[in-house]
Amino acid sequence: MTDAKPLNILFLCTHNSARSILAEALLNHMGQGLFKAYSAGSSPKDNQKPNPMAIATLERAGISTAGLSSKSWDVFATPDAPHMDLVITVCDNAAGEVCPYWPGQPASAHWGYADPSETVGTYEQKLEAFKQTLLQIKKRLDIFTSLPSTSLGKMALENTARELAKK
């Protein structure tokens, strides 16, 4: 796959402020040019920004936060949007919503994670919840990014991504 264009992966969550932001940044960090990750939300709030604890967690892990922003999934449903190869929902709310039509009809999967921004406790306890979510995402992405290129065709990609949801 060294000469191939990177696979475009879109991570979706409701507000695009925590889990999808963590997944986007982490896959771009791990992807070694084989993957290009994006994130979006089904209904980000007006003036939504990435959760400061998500940003702090990524920075503590040495992962770049440059260019991260909260945005609507509508951005990726336009004809001039980057073509997605795989769309992964990372929260149960977004998984149950009717998604827009994605140009190119990408493969899809659901990887559910608890929302770390709903953690109650001290600042350090909340930060630990974000760290644990990042580690859970990393566990799946470690496997995903090490797959042979034969596992990354459209049907194989969808089946593989859905199998990873069980891990």
Residues identified as active-site: 13, 91, 99
**Residue 12 φ then ψ, to 5°:** -115, 140
| Terminal CA-CA length for the chain | 25
Say if CB 102 and CB 77 are below 8 A apart.
yes
